[in-house]
Amino acid sequence: MNNDMPDKLLRLSKSCLSNLEKQAVMEVLDRGFLGMGTEVQQFEKVLTDFFGRPVVCVVNGTAAVQLAVQACGIGLGDEVLIPSLTYVASFQAISATGAKPIACDINSDSCNVDWRDAERRLTVNTKAIMPVHYSGGVDGLDEIYNFAERHGLRVIEDAAHAFGSEYQGKKVGSFGDVSCFSFDGIKNITSGEGGCVVSDDPIVIRKIKDSRLLGVENDTSKRYEGKRSWQFDVKSQGWRYHMSDIMASIGLAQFNRFSEFAATRRLLACCYDGLLRNHQSIKPLARDYNTVVPHIYVVRIKNIHDRVALQSQLLKHGIQSGIHYQPNHQLSFYRDPNALPLPVTDAVFPELLTLPLHPDLAEEDVEFVVKQLTVAVQ
C-alpha cells in the first residue's frame, strides 16, 4: 500500500446521479423502446416551457452547434467568428459544415469573445458570430447582437456552459437568435450525452428536426408516435444526431433536480470567491453568481512558472484540476499563419487553472482545495 496516496479524490467534475435517474432509465428499458420517442418529446416540452420558445433535442452539444450552423444556411466558403478560447468541439462543429471558424480574441476579465477584435476579422465571407459563454458567464451580449445587426450576421450562441444562467433578468436561451446547449455527463444537467437548440426561427427549428433524422422530412412527428417514415423525401444533407428516449429520461430526472444543482454550484463558487478574494496571485474570473450558474470554476494565477507541476502537486493531495481550454488557433488543424495575432488569449491561457466544481462537493472540500492551492503557489 502506498501511504502517500490521498484517502479521498476531489474530482474536477462528475455526473451527479440519484435513484431518480436510475428509475427513469429502467422505465424506458421496461417499455422496450429505446430510440427517439415520447420521452424525447416530453423533454423537449419541458425545455420549451423553461425557455419559453421552441427546442429541438439532439445527440450532443457538438451536434447542436453543427446543426444550428447548417440550419442558418452557413456552409462551404463561409466564415464564423468565434473565440479561440473554447473547446475544440465548437470549432469542429463549424468546420464540419464546410465553413471556416475564425479565431477571435477574448476580454481578459471574462474570457468571453471581444467583439471589437472580431470586427477586425470581418470579411465578405463572414456569416455569423458565435459567442461562447465560458464557465457559464454571459457578458456583453447586447454589444455582440448590436455588432451582428450592423454587419448582417447570425448569432449562434454556444451556451454549453450556461444552462440556467441569466442575462439582464432573462434566461440564456430565452431570447436572441439561436442558442445551443450541452447535456453531457458533467454539464449543469445531463442526459448522459445530449444537447439542444433553442430558437424562435421556425426555419431553423424545422431544418434541425429533419437534419437530426438523416434529412428525412417530417419524420419527427412519426417518431413521437412510436412509428417511422417508410415513404419519404430527403432534400438536404442530414445526420444521425437524434436523442434517444434513454437519454431524455435521464435529462427529465436531472431537470427536476436543477434548482438543487444550481444552488449548490452557486454556493461553492461564492465560497471559492470569498476565500480567494484578497489573494495577490490567484484571481477568480469576474462572475455574478446571482445570475450565473457556473459549469466550471476557473482562476488566473499570475506569474505561474510550471502549471503541470502545480497540477501534480494538487493531485498528490487528492485534488484534480483542469485547463479550459487550449486555444484553437494553436492547434495544427486550425492554425492560420496569416491571421491577426490574439495577444489577450495568448497572455491569459498560460495563467488559467480550473478547480473542482460539482454538486457532490461540500464547502469544506472547497476550503481544502483553496488551502492546498495557496500553499502550492507561494
Per-residue pLDDT of the chain (378 residues; tens, 9 = 90+): 344 557 789 999 999 999 999 999 999 999 999 999 999 999 999 999 999 999 999 999 999 999 999 999 999 999 999 999 999 999 999 999 999 999 999 999 999 999 999 999 999 999 999 999 999 999 899 999 999 999 999 999 999 999 999 999 999 999 999 999 999 999 999 999 999 999 999 999 999 999 999 999 999 999 998 888 999 999 999 999 999 999 999 999 999 999 999 999 999 999 999 999 999 999 999 999 999 999 999 999 998 989 999 999 999 999 999 999 999 999 999 999 999 999 999 999 999 999 999 999 999 999 999 999 999 998
**What are 181's three cell numbers?**
446547449
Measuring CA to CA, which residue among 165, 155, 91 is closest to residue 326?
A: 91
Q: Is 207 helix (H, G, I), strand (E, B) or coil?
A: helix
Residues 330, 176 contacting (CB under 8 angstroms): no
β-partners of residue 163 are none
β-partners of residue 82 are 103
Identical topology for domains 19-255 and 258-376: no
**Hey, what CATH class is 19-255 in?**
alpha beta
Q: Which helix (H) or strand (E) segment is 332 a member of?
A: none
Residue 319 main-chain phi, psi, to 5 deg:
-115, 115
Cross-sheet strand order for the sheet of 55-58? 55-58, 195-199, 178-182, 154-158, 126-129, 79-83, 100-104
Q: Beta strand 352-355 with 297-301: parallel, antiparallel or unpaired?
A: antiparallel
Q: What does the DSSP assignment read for 8-29?
A: --B-S------HHHHHHHHHHH
Residues 58, 191 contacting (CB under 8 angstroms): no
- pTM: predicted TM-score of the whole model, two decimal places: 0.96
Q: Beta strand 170-171 with 55-58: parallel, antiparallel or unpaired?
A: unpaired
> How many angstroms from the chain centroid is the CA of residue 89?
10
Summarised one tens digit per residue, pLDDT across range 215-229 is 999 999 999 988 889
Domain boundaries, the chain: 19-255, 258-376
CA distances from 376 to 37, 143, 305, 355, 371 (A): 51, 39, 12, 14, 9
127, 187, 207, 209: which is the annotated catalytic residue?
Answer: 187
The position carrying cell 485534488 is 319
CATH assignment, 258-376? 3.90.1150.10
Residue 32 main-chain phi, psi, to 5 deg:
80, 10
Helix locations, the chain, DSSP H: 19-31, 38-51, 61-71, 88-95, 115-120, 141-151, 202-211, 219-224, 245-255, 258-276, 307-316, 343-348, 363-376
Q: Is 294 helix (H, G, I), strand (E, B) or coil?
A: coil
Instruction: Give yes or no: 235 in active site.
Output: no
CA distances from 142 to 28, 109, 179 (A): 42, 17, 15
Q: Which pLDDT score, from 0 to 100, does residue 227 have?
A: 87
Q: Is 242 helix (H, G, I), strand (E, B) or coil?
A: strand
Round to whole Å and give the CA distance between 83 and 43: 31
Q: Which pLDDT score, from 0 to 100, does residue 5 have?
A: 56
Q: Which pLDDT score, from 0 to 100, does residue 298 have?
A: 98
Q: Which pLDDT score, from 0 to 100, does residue 4 have?
A: 57
Residues 191, 251 contacting (CB under 8 angstroms): yes
